[in-house]
């Protein structure tokens, strides 16, 4: 009886503290000029997210996801995960007990030929997920969501391959939910010419949250793989997110790359605290140094369906591609569509 009363008292105290804290918090946000009714730049949601140590929180979650799980509890835990996030366990050839930790289960392999056969389309989906947006790049702006964009030059950095582009540029943004298959495959036949790693922040990429973060895909950590396909310039970019700081690349591309490293935390803090390097400013990526690798990719050809890499948790993939001015590209998808690896994205007509 005494313990019950203590628990109730502490619960009431906790609720009261949270309520008072919320009132003062909202007053502070309003005093600092944040419009509590708007989205994107100046919104209170963006202010709250920008004050959180998202990189450190993601590394903490990563360490938990890599903890080895006792064998008897693996199958029940993974089945619970699958039931919550709607994962398809039937396409897994290994036993559930063979995955030592949640991160291994999350980035599980499947038989692409059997489960995700690639068609002969001009462009196919590199991942399982949901179409966030797709369309034509206009005025060097990419559509993050309806009515929300991010600048192409910030997203790619100084890309010499893009400078030679003379045709039309298109984009596709695909979001991977926690229950999806998380390997990334080549959406077409292409030759990778460079790899750029941008050490950025790790804002959530959920479409419901993305509308509050201006230039989201240009400030989050990402690995830009640029190259050439038969119609001109192209790039495939895995973008990190909150709790998804770990992006792996295949052995043919760059198996040694490390994302969400603690060594990059200070650089990201300086960027966020500098007015001229604010994620909402046009010159953000002028301050953002990135590591680049080119020599490794001489002669490396990626065929449709070849594995590019994997997420250790869910995130997004951004595809940019060019067609000649004489060709027309027709999307077979639209925003909100569910898509699976190997499904047709679009076709080029001459």
Find residue 309's DSSP bridge partners: 184, 249
Whole-angstrom distance, CA of residue 283 vs CA of residue 251: 34
Strands 232-239 and 316-323: antiparallel
Question: Is 128 annotated as catalytic?
Answer: yes
- Is residue 198 within 8 A of residue 288, CB to CB? The reply is yes
Catalytic residue of the set 122, 128, 254, 306: 128
Catalytic residue of the set 107, 133, 185, 226: 185
Catalytic residue of the set 107, 186, 315, 316: 315
Question: Is 185 annotated as catalytic?
Answer: yes
Catalytic residues: 128, 185, 315
């Amino acid at each position: 009886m005494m313990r019950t009363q203590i628990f109730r008292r502490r619960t009431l105290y906790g609720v009261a503290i949270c309520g008072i804290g919320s009132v003062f918090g909202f007053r502070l946000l309003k005093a600092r000029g944040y419009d509590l009714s708007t989205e994107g730049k100046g919104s209170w949601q963006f202010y709250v997210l920008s004050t959180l140590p998202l990189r450190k929180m993601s590394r903490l979650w990563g360490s938990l996801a890599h903890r080895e799980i006792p064998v008897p509890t693996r199958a029940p835990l993974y089945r619970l995960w699958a039931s919550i996030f709607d994962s398809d366990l039937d396409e897994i050839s290994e036993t559930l007990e063979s995955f030592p930790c949640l991160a291994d289960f999350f980035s599980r392999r499947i038989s692409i030929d059997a489960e995700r056969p690639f068609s002969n389309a001009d462009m196919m989906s590199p991942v399982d997920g949901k179409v966030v947006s797709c369309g034509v790049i206009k005025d060097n702006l990419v559509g993050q969501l309806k009515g929300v964009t991010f600048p192409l030059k910030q997203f790619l950095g100084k890309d010499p391959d893009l400078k030679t582009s003379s045709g039309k540029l298109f984009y596709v943004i695909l979001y991977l939910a926690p229950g999806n298959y998380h390997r990334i495959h080549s959406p077409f036949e292409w030759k990778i010419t460079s790899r750029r790693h941008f050490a950025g922040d790790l804002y959530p990429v959920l479409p419901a949250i993305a509308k509050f973060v201006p230039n989201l895909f240009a400030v989050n950590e990402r690995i830009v793989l640029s190259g050439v396909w038969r119609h001109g310039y192209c790039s495939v970019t895995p973008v990190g997110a909150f709790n998804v700081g770990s992006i792996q690349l295949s052995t043919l591309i760059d198996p040694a790359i490390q994302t969400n490293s603690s060594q990059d935390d200070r650089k990201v803090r300086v960027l966020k605290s500098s007015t001229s390097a604010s994620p909402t400013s046009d010159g953000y990526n002028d301050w953002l140094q990135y590591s680049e690798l080119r020599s490794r990719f001489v002669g490396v050809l990626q065929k449709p369906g070849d594995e590019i890499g994997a997420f250790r948790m869910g995130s997004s993939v951004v595809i940019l591609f060019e067609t000649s001015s004489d060709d027309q590209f027709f999307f077979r998808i639209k925003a909100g569509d569910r898509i699976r690896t190997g499904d047709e994205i679009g076709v080029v007509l001459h």
